[in-house]
Amino acid sequence: MYWNLVLYSLLCFGMFCLGSCSGTGERPENSVEAGVPPEIFPDYREVTIPPNIASLNFRLASADSVEACYALFSGKEGSSMEAFGKRSLQIDEKAWRKLLAENAGQTVQVSLATRVGSQWTVWDAFPLFVREEPIDSHLVYRLIEPGYEKWHIVGLYVRDLTTFEETPLIRNDMTGYNCINCHSFCQNDPEQMLFHMRAAHGGTYIVHQKQVEKLDTKTPQTLSHLTYPAWHPSGRYVVASVNDIRQIFHAVKEKKMEVFDTASDVVVYDVQKHAILSKASIQSEDAFETFPAFSPDGKWLYYCVAPARKMPEEYDQVRYSLCRVAFDAEKGEIRLPADTLVRADSLSYTFPRISPDGRFLFYTETAYGQFPIWHTDAELRMLDLTTLQPVDMSPLNSPDTESYHSWGSNGRYVVFSSRRDNGLYTLPYLCYIAEDGRPAKPFLLPQEDPEYYDFLLYSYNIPELVTGCPSVGPYEIQQVALNGETQRVTYR
Amino acid sequence: MKKIQTVWKDGGLLVLFMLGCFLFISLNFTYWFHFMEQYMLFWDTKAYWSERIVEIGGLNEYLSEFLTQGFSYAGGPAWIVALLSGGISFLFYGYMRACGARPSMLVAILPMFLPWLFPIENITPLLAVLWAFAGIHVYRCVRLPYLRYGAGVVIVALLYWWAAPAHLLVAMLMAVYELCISAAGNQRRNAWVASLLFLAWAVLLPFVGMRLFWVVPVREAFLSRYLYHPEYPLPSSFWFLWFSFPVLAVLAYRFRKVVWPGKASVRFVLAYGLLVLGIAWGIFMRKNPMEQAYRYDYYARQGAWDRIVEHARQKGVADQDALVYLNLALSYTGQLDKSVFDFPQIGEAGFIPHEPRTRLGLIEASEVCWRIGQVNAAQRFAFVGVLSSQRRVQPRLMQRLVDTYLVNGEYRAAEKYIKLLEASPRYRSWAEGRRALLDPRVCGATDWVAEKRRLLSVTDNPIDPTQVFPSALAFLLDDHPENRPAFDYGMAYLLVHKQLPPFMHYMELELKRGGSFPDLYQEAICLYYATVEQNPEAFRRYAVRPEISRRFSQFVQALSKGTPASLLEKTYGDTYYFYYYTKGKR
């Protein structure tokens, strides 16, 4: 009996020890200067961060022989904190919060030293620019394997940006391994959102507070169920594309796969009347319209449009312009004609998103098409709507794919997806946007374990900043999916 | 003396069963377990341990993944399953005796025949049973009843956390144990209360866990993440196995006082006889119908292509999956242009699976695409194969991903998978070897990479090789006529489908390239110029060997005289024109 108990106790103790091991607690002595800044992952050197972000834990990019590392974070007036590790640094959260609070609007210098054998090397210090403006407290995204035609576990997750807590909003293993996609929040409000489920328990799910409504949005007059959605700021309307989506796989190494539409329209759905409004919709056979969005004042409907082409033969000749058309929220109607804001000459433009102050149009540029997630040339662009002049976005872009993006509620931060880390997995980057629209150097969403991304087998999809944690829980959504009644949407 | 006899008898039965189990797995299911090894990946990183240990049943999963590494070795699966089965039987035997029953070891062995009837995919369920018996062993070591009840509550909770659904089994075993050892009166009443408490606690725990710790569906909360999946449902043996233990324990207890007729020595012989019969039945009657395909999959992983061809020549080809591997092996051993008709061909599906969705099909598709030089498609099917696995890992296909990324020059993506495989003791050395290729200069100078790169597609096209295999091959050959694997696959396809005009189109190109023509192609050339295009001058350009030409003329004469096919087969059964005229319709 006692041997068994001893055995179990030892096992528990062992697990406890394994879980609590960290850092060596060593400070550098007799060090030499490296003369260059350290190579770290994620690259947090010289990034601009909000004062409420969780600690920026990182690892050395190439650390095979490093046995210990030490970092000193120094702020104004002597405020500082230390961090210890072996090949990576996990910063004490409490000390980090205090440091950022004391240095909001200031610069924090990070000095890193590493030890190989008994020799310490001190690397050139790098700054962290701490802004005074906070970022929205939560980020919602879908985690999905970056596969081709197959998915397995898909889930919408809410991440607290001030800590490392991640909670599922809904996961598809709770709803028959169906597909869950295209979540969208109304004005960064965690209490008003929608998302779709496809295959089992298919439908569009609209969440308001803790009430979940399940909709069948296919009508005889529209091409498909609602696809790529965006809310009207009033919360009464949702604009969405309806698409006939196809995909093909390339044979050459430069390209992987192509997602394209053979037909698409833009429609407006009235949340109160459960109806798609014909007078607010843009449906034409000789053009592809997609990826719509409302302006924050609700007076304009932005969308992408391209002349219809023979698909899939001419998939690489479809180039989308960015247009907008006036929207009358009182009557639920659009007012033609449409303005073309960014004309597709040799390139294609997609994913229009307007800053909360209505001044900037943030969008994606690619060689062709409207779904550039596998286009390495895809870059993010910004247009100042007051001057119609482009903003230089080069600090934000990389040689790899940048695609989906969204604004934070105060207009000072954006989040966007990028494949810059390994060219395969899409990860969320946060970026400070100055009042004149210029971006700072973006930074990867921090994680508690600096090696988290190395072992991650998911892509972050559709990152959306929200001002709090949605109060609806996974089990409430699951109940509606499994047992709830479906509201059929009409077309009027 | 009597005790020694009992030990010898029961111990002997157990050893015999373990030996039988070893033989059963070795002879019938080794390749199945070799195949299933690909669907688990053990990482020895701290983060992985932390991730697993907070899951429901995570520790069991962790150990299961650790032990599954042993499936890679030749006798690994047989040893592991035999030891687990023996261990469970031994503990079950001890449990029944602790309950007051006096069963034969044969009774304790009986449930472990269930996995023979319904083969398991992995050892996770067996390990969960072992956890449950370890739990009940600790439980019954506590003598004081109320202390034991308290320990029972803790054990059920711990086993839920570490090895769910072991908690359900241990609760049932505890309940049976309490009822068996309790005397009448108050003790019996307490036993009932404790039993109901354990069962209720075991059922309640998943709901408590769902509310407090884990956001999971109910079935996962009860069974743990990987013991429930709609695409990979639990084998029936799981449920039979689960309930067989308490049921057998109750029966053994109920009939504990029954005196079996006959002499002890007769019963002794009978017990051994029954066990030997059971083992023999399993070994000879419970063959794995997919054994050949899994065997070839294993050989393919080892690169032992010769062994596939050799085995197929001796045993024939049992199914489509085996045929796909065989044709692949013929390609790798340079025999596809000579020996493809030595084996029964079924058309396109014998070369590559059509729109694969199964685990084996996706691996085969990736293997064939890799062989013919369609690297993007090989990568795509490898990726889908990884996603299709229950645990979203498939180290063999992850290796393929590494290689495809290296060939395509996507070094960062290759490094991602190298790092994942480096974290696994089983694949570490392979991954470390590949790490050197992350240097573009080293990679470009590596023979196999250079060869693959030389044959990469130049002309983009949306053709899926698993949907339109010949078109995919045609694109590859248009870009690189020297792509011999694609050429041989293409010609084999055309010959199997008796499409002589397009076959001759490629022969014409090959002629211009100064290529050589194996006997099989020469026979087809003879046939073409005899039946489709009467052009002796064109025919002469191919320099068909005189004996092939003469033999073909003799065949034509015999055919025109109406010689029966059975007679023709004796003389010409090894020729393409015999296949052309007699096997299948044009």
Chain B residue with Cα closest to A171:
B216
pLDDT greater than 80 at residue A487: yes
Whether residue B186 is found in the same domain as residue B314: no
Backbone angles phi, psi at A204, to 5 degrees: -100, 130
Min Cα distance B157 → chain A (Å) is: 14
A189-204 average pLDDT score: 94
**Partners of residue A449 in chain B, C-beta under 8 Å:** 47
Retrieve residue A180's tokens: 């869950």
A408-413 average pLDDT score: 97
pLDDT for residue B3: 58
Whether residue B376 is found in the same domain as residue B443: yes
Of B434-448, B481-495, B567-581, minimum mean pLDDT range = B567-581
pLDDT for residue B227: 79
| Interface contact A173, partner B, CB < 8 A | yes
Mean pLDDT, chain B, rounded, equals 93
| H helix or E strand, kind and range, residue B475 | helix B469-479
Retrieve residue B141's tokens: 């070591």
A126-154 average pLDDT score: 90
**Partners of residue A399 in chain B, C-beta under 8 Å:** none
d(Cα A90, Cα A109) in Å, to the nearest integer?
Answer: 17
Residue A370 in contact with residue A357, Cβ under 8 Å?
A: no
Candidates B374, B387, B475; nearest CB to A152:
B387
**Partners of residue B216 in chain A, C-beta under 8 Å:** 173-174
**Partners of residue B419 in chain A, C-beta under 8 Å:** 454-455
Min Cα distance A122 → chain B (Å) is: 27
Please, which pLDDT band fits residue A24 given cuts at 50, 70 and 90?
Answer: low
Whether residue B208 is found in the same domain as residue B303: no
A180-190 average pLDDT score: 95
The 3-state DSSP class for residue A382 equals strand
pLDDT greater than 80 at residue A167: yes
Assess if residue B459 is contained within a domain.
no
| Domain residue spans of chain A | 2-130, 138-487
Assess if residue B403 is contained within a domain.
yes
A357-377 average pLDDT score: 95
Min Cα distance A19 → chain B (Å) is: 7
pLDDT for residue A17: 44
CB contact (8 A) between residue A252 and residue B410? no
Site from B39, B376, B381, B435 to mutate, A interface, most A CB atoms within 10 angstroms: B376
**Partners of residue A150 in chain B, C-beta under 8 Å:** 384, 387-388
Residue B321 in contact with residue B361, Cβ under 8 Å?
A: yes
**Partners of residue A21 in chain B, C-beta under 8 Å:** 46
CATH no., domain A2-130: 2.60.40
Topology of domain A138-487, per CATH? Neuraminidase (2.120.10)
CATH of the domain at B436: 1.25.40
Assess if residue B110 is contained within a domain.
yes
Angle at B456 between CA B450 and CA B459, to 5 degrees: 155
| Interface contact A424, partner B, CB < 8 A | yes
pLDDT for residue A23: 56
pLDDT for residue B2: 56
CB contact (8 A) between residue A455 and residue B45? yes
Retrieve residue B31's tokens: 């390749």
| Interface contact A147, partner B, CB < 8 A | yes
The 3-state DSSP class for residue A301 equals strand
Strands (DSSP E) along A173-236, which ranges? Answer: 179-186, 189-198, 203-208, 211-216, 229-231
| Interface contact A21, partner B, CB < 8 A | yes
Retrieve residue B548's tokens: 């092939």
Assess if residue B207 is contained within a domain.
yes
Whether residue B153 is found in the same domain as residue B189: yes
Using H for helix, E for strand and C for coil, what is the string for B166-215? HHHHHHHHHHHHHHHHCCCCHHHHHHHHHHHHHHHHHHHHHHHHHHHCCC
CB contact (8 A) between residue B377 and residue A150? no
| Interface contact A249, partner B, CB < 8 A | yes
A2-19 average pLDDT score: 47
d(Cα A337, Cα B310) in Å, to the nearest integer?
Answer: 74
CB contact (8 A) between residue B380 and residue A4? no
A192-217 average pLDDT score: 94
Chain A residue with Cα closest to B387:
A152
Assess if residue B272 is contained within a domain.
yes
Long-range contacts, B520-525 (Cβ 8 Å, 24+) = B520/B337, B520/B338, B520/B340, B520/B341, B520/B495, B520/B576, B521/B337, B521/B491, B522/B548, B523/B548, B523/B552, B523/B575, B523/B576, B523/B577, B524/B495, B524/B500, B524/B576, B524/B577, B524/B580
Please, which pLDDT band fits residue B526 given cuts at 50, 70 and 90?
Answer: very high
Whether residue B28 is found in the same domain as residue B135: yes
pLDDT greater than 60 at residue A3: no
A219, B86, B112, B206, B285 from B117: Cα distances, Å: 51, 17, 10, 30, 10
Whether residue B230 is found in the same domain as residue B366: no
Q: Report pLDDT digits (tens) over B160-180.
A: 999 999 999 999 999 999 999
CB pairs under 8 A between A and B: 120
Whether residue B78 is found in the same domain as residue B14: yes
Roughly what angle, to the nearest 10 degrees, separates helices B124-141 and A2-20? 130
pLDDT greater than 70 at residue A469: yes
d(Cα A206, Cα A212) in Å, to the nearest integer?
Answer: 6
pLDDT for residue B5: 61
Q: Report pLDDT digits (tens) over A60-104.
A: 998 678 999 999 999 987 889 999 999 899 999 999 999 999 999
Of A6-15, A181-190, A277-286, minimum mean pLDDT range = A6-15
Candidates B217, B377, B420; nearest CB to A174:
B217
CB contact (8 A) between residue A474 and residue B461? no
Chain A residue with Cα closest to B453:
A253
Site from B60, B162, B228, B380 to mutate, A interface, most A CB atoms within 10 angstroms: B380
Look up the pTM and report it. 0.93
Whether residue B183 is found in the same domain as residue B316: no
CB contact (8 A) between residue A421 and residue B412? yes
Whether residue B437 is found in the same domain as residue B535: no
Residue A144 in contact with residue A459, Cβ under 8 Å?
A: yes
Assess if residue B192 is contained within a domain.
yes
**Partners of residue A248 in chain B, C-beta under 8 Å:** 462
pLDDT for residue B6: 61
| Interface contact A87, partner B, CB < 8 A | no
Assess if residue B462 is contained within a domain.
no
B189-213 average pLDDT score: 95
Angle at B453 between CA A258 and CA B457, to 5 degrees: 40
pLDDT greater than 70 at residue A11: no
Candidates B386, B412, B460; nearest CB to A251:
B460
Assess if residue B586 is contained within a domain.
no
Retrieve residue B207's tokens: 């709901």
Whether residue B281 is found in the same domain as residue B299: no
Retrieve residue A69's tokens: 């590392």
**How large is the ipTM?**
0.91
Please, which pLDDT band fits residue B388 given cuts at 50, 70 and 90?
Answer: confident
Please, which pLDDT band fits residue A16 given cuts at 50, 70 and 90?
Answer: very low
**Partners of residue A152 in chain B, C-beta under 8 Å:** 387-388, 392
Q: Report pLDDT digits (tens) over A383-393.
A: 999 999 999 99
A438-463 average pLDDT score: 95
CB contact (8 A) between residue B230 and residue A177? yes
CB contact (8 A) between residue A1 and residue B138? yes
Q: Report pLDDT digits (tens) over B274-298.
A: 999 999 999 999 999 999 999 999 9
Candidates A153, A424, A451; nearest CB to B413:
A424
The rounded percent of chain B whose pLDDT value lies above 90 is: 82
pLDDT greater than 80 at residue A8: no
Residue where one domain finishes, among candidates B426, B454, B482:
B454
Whether residue B503 is found in the same domain as residue B433: no
Please, which pLDDT band fits residue A19 given cuts at 50, 70 and 90?
Answer: very low
Show the domain range for B332: 291-454
B338-354 average pLDDT score: 94
Long-range contacts, B177-181 (Cβ 8 Å, 24+) = B177/B95, B177/B98, B177/B99, B177/B136, B177/B139, B177/B140, B180/B99, B180/B100, B180/B101, B180/B249, B180/B253, B181/B98, B181/B99, B181/B100
Whether residue B184 is found in the same domain as residue B43: yes
pLDDT for residue B196: 97
